[in-house]
Structure 1
Amino acid sequence: MRNWTIAGILSVEPAAKRTELLAEPVAKALAALGDPEAGVVEIDPELADTAAFCAAYSSPMSASANCVVVAGKRAGEVRYAAALVLATTRADVNGVIKRRLDVRKASFAAMDEAVELTGMAYGGITPVGLPAAWPILVDQAVADSPELVIGSGIRGSKLLVTGALLAGLPGAEVIEGLAKPVA
């Protein structure tokens, strides 16, 4: 198994061997991908938010990617997408994402709606295992990253993956400028 340098003080195990640490849609999606090289680490669910996770487990913030669910309406139809950006940046929801969804206004999906539609826990939503019809918008910096920490679908663990794995997910679109630096 790969030596994940971003794991900080955590012990990494192969995700395929610890599926109880993954939300069901995440475990199914990894299996459908042929169980790619992905690691999983068990964490305190109270430390699932990115800043708390990085501080508690000595994992670099620059190696964390956040997945946000965005919704917009066009002609009465709600359109969803997931956006994956580095934790040190923010998704350009009202620029790039709004144009990509071809909607008048885009915003973060409501928490209960995101949880229901993804089958994942809020604060653990990940691009792996999302509904097949959703585009997965991946910032170029995420795609270029050799190692990343992302959600696992639950708050009690994190996945360790490569940017190449994320860029290769079904429905993934790598977009330059999807994220903006935090002001």
Structure 2
Amino acid sequence: MRTPIGPFDHAVPAPDCLDELTPPVARAVGGWQGEVPAAQILYVDTDPAIADTAAFVAHFGPELLDQSANCVVVAAKRGGETTLAACVVPSAARVDVNGAVRRHLGARKVSFAPMETAVELTGMEYGGITPLGLPDGWPLLVDSAVRDMPYVLIGSGRRRGKIIAPGTLFAELPGAELIDGLAI
């Protein structure tokens, strides 16, 4: 199957290749019941050496920067308590950690979660974290621009492989909250 975005010659509906995904992502895809049909969640096999956005765009072309998103895990602190959350923004932007995220989560301080924490708690690989299959109860802050993208290229939970899905899917994920101005 040809992909709706990117120069990829072959994509597989993610429900047909759950063994290529990390267990939490496979559970999320396998149990998906949102308005976007599960068959529209596509998996593309890619080289893990170019998983990072800059390397991926350099290899496949700059047009992918406007068709992809990044998912980052943040730690919000207030009154001695820490809340972990995930943020999804277009790859051409950065997460407004000290503004939009801090205000939305009501935190005194927000920072990127340590790599070890993000990997351990999500069950995903660093450089491939995706909003599909996040731990129950985590806030998922999604920049409205991601929802408005026809299709989005994002991590698959592993450094090898990417997910391509309609932007509207990201507003349907558990815990998703659309935020204008999450990206700067």
Q: Give the TM-score normalised by structure 2.
A: 0.92
User: Which of 42, 46, 50 does residue 45 from structure 2 map onto?
Assistant: 42
Runs of 4+ in 1 over 6 A off after TM superposition: none
Separation in 2, partners of 1:10, 1:167: 27
User: Which of 44, 56, 60 does residue 57 from structure 1 map onto?
Assistant: 60
Give the share of equivalent positions with the same residue, in percent. 50
Written as runs of structure 1 = structure 2, the 5 A alignment for 1:1-183 is: 4-34=3-33, 36=38, 37-58=40-61, 60-180=64-184
1:20 CA drift (Å) = 2.1
SS in 2 for 1:156: coil
SS in 1 for 2:57: helix
Q: Structure 1: give runs of 5+ residues left out of the alignment.
A: none
Q: Structure 2: give runs of 5+ residues left out of the alignment.
A: none
CA contact (8 A) 2:42 2:164 kept: yes
Separation in 2, partners of 1:10, 1:57: 12
CA contact (8 A) 2:138 2:175 kept: yes
Q: Which moved more, 1:34-43 or 1:160-169?
A: 34-43
SS in 2 for 1:149: strand
What one-letter code is carried by the residue in structure 2 that aligns with 1:55? Answer: A
Separation in 1, partners of 2:48, 2:60: 13
Number of corresponding residues: 179
Separation in 1, partners of 2:104, 2:122: 20
Separation in 1, partners of 2:179, 2:56: 27
Q: Give the TM-score normalised by structure 1.
A: 0.93
- After superposition, the CA RMSD in angstroms is 1.4
1:54 CA drift (Å) = 2.3
Separation in 2, partners of 1:80, 1:89: 21
